[in-house]
Chains A and B, each alone.
Chain A
């Protein structure tokens, strides 16, 4: 069943023909349009006007209703009427105490969920005293070496009450182990712990570029994490499939969704292969998308992604539970769109992108600080970012009606066009042998590098406008620096002192024995590595010791050099 009757469509087509011959033709004669071709950022051609005739082929069942298959119109039946999206600003810098203090400030400002950025050594499985950690400790995230750091990070914060998102990837299974061990120490009820780990390895190899091991062991660690978490901490999302980073390295909206769905398929295959039923883990798969500049394309992207995911789960994986087919998404506004020149303009950019995410139906959101083109945001910048979300939520009445743009001829057509493009890419990935193989071959990496270059050329030629940068340039406004979040130079030494202290206090023979046992378990992919890792972190093994022991087993990763 389509949305409109054939008679209605025929009528519209006839009227449109008449309008084109009369009004439009006259207008084009007196004033030609500014461009010959209008298109979305990802290259989907845009018509001048959309009518019922443009949605004539879309089945009414493709729209459906919010909270029901195929979830095009929203993840939940009441959406923001029942529960507003979570304001979840990511924070992380310096020692755990510094980040803890920022959390408390943000909770007081009205933030409703926590989110942690880790420093590069922690992400890459290195201790703060590793020579490769030079200059990086606590720099672009918080430094974590042992379970005691995780305890300090969440000091005074009730883990049963506030959901905690951990932006951690290659070393995610270790940080998760520390998190649950801390929760256990505090006597928390594990069924009340809620939050999300990012833990999306394939997107690391193609986009964010943080890795420790070759691709397949990294996917195995994720598999272990998904399977362990499903039983032990049923309200924690063990993965956030992150299209955001695919966009951040240059991917367009189609690539963002298509590639992340290809990765979703690969992960589901792994877990199912290990013997778990799709409905026992799919409800806890979560997503992380960007809200970028092309306003309508972004809104349609969220709608198309929900529909593609629902169909994938139902048709490819035979999921039965609706929760397995419901795509829930955290959104961050586009860091790539921020400029240093006239950086105050970033407030407007971010507010519009945030509105797009809300009209697209996000479940939680991080709005970028206006100073993020310089450094990690200051407290003041974070407050403005939180206020941006509060203004959208509480002042402009966009939350009363679910999917308010649904039914717009244009929005439905573009949603469908994007969905079709996404399926095309997914078929190509299948034909070429699947996501894991293509990651190893650098196929995704090449596509993303090509898109990044194309975007750069468009900005460079002025075809893509950046206000204040390549259009309306005000020479006098180019030099101003924002206030910058300061870096604590004592941070590294404190982490190193603490590492030495922990190593002198613990039972080193026990740690050595447990590390040997972990290495033994890692030789085959039959055993889930989480229980042993949890024992290790409780015995005060450091993150670096655990990660490096498995590097001895699995080796490290050599990137295919693609420019």
Chain B
């Protein structure tokens, strides 16, 4: 799967559905890039299927999705379903944005690996991704 010459973590920072709030996604993209990761930004208005296809094409380790529209539960469910359908469950999913803690279990059940809280510092976001990819080995 992976070209294996490099240990550089590849991340697709993605926006799902109709949510246009992209401030956080763009800040996180820069934070991860500054931390030495290779970052691809999806742009807005992507369906779960489009995001999974892009993640496979770009051979990323992680999909990071930022959602502030309140539609996170159905959209992450769809994302998880698409990952399974497209046989891409080796790609980790990190969720961020405005997500009440009571929704964390539903998201984790849908295939989200980590939910990053809204007020997370840069190092928390970075290490959440590094821990996923390195500590548990590449899926």
Q: What residues of chain A have their CB less than 8 Å away from a CB belonging to chain B?
A: 120-121, 123-124, 126, 132-136, 139-140, 208-210, 248-250, 339-341, 373-376, 449, 452-453, 456, 460, 466, 469-470, 479, 481, 484, 487, 559, 561-563
Contact = CB atoms under 8 A, between A and B. Distances in A.
Contacts of B19: 120
Say what secondary structure dominates the interface of chain A. loop
B73 to A, nearest CB: 8
A445 to B, nearest CB: 9
Contact of B27 (A248, A456, A487): A456
Given A339-B119, A340-B119, A481-B101, A209 B22 contact: yes
Contact of B100 (A449, A452, A481): A481
17 contacts: A132-B18, A132-B47, A133-B18, A135-B75, A135-B78, A136-B69, A139-B70, A209-B20, A248-B23, A339-B119, A373-B118, A374-B98, A375-B100, A452-B23, A460-B121, A481-B100, A484-B102
Given A134-B74, A135-B74, A481-B102, A121 B119 contact: no
Interface of B: 17-23, 26-27, 29-31, 33, 39, 41, 43-45, 47, 69-71, 73-75, 78, 98, 100-102, 117-119, 121-122
Nearest to B74: A135
Contacts of B27: 452-453, 456
Contacts of B47: 132
Contacts of B39: 563
Contacts of A140: 69-70
B4 to A, nearest CB: 27
A130 to B, nearest CB: 10
B122 A460 contact: yes
Contacts of B98: 373-375
A66 B119 CA distance: 42
Given A132-B47, A452-B27, A479 B101 contact: yes
A135 B118 contact: no
Given A139-B69, A374-B100, A559-B44, A208 B26 contact: no
Contacts of B75: 134-135
Contact of A449 (B26, B45, B70): B26
A135 B17 contact: yes
B97 to A, nearest CB: 11
A453 B101 CA distance: 26
Name which of A123, A210, A460, A559 has the most chain B CB atoms within 10 A of its CB.
A460
A74 B24 CA distance: 35
Contacts of B18: 120-121, 123-124, 126, 132-133, 136
Instruction: Please name the 9 residue pairs, one residue from A and one from B, whose CB atoms are nearest each other, closest first.
Output: A209-B20, A135-B74, A120-B18, A135-B71, A249-B23, A456-B27, A563-B29, A139-B70, A460-B122
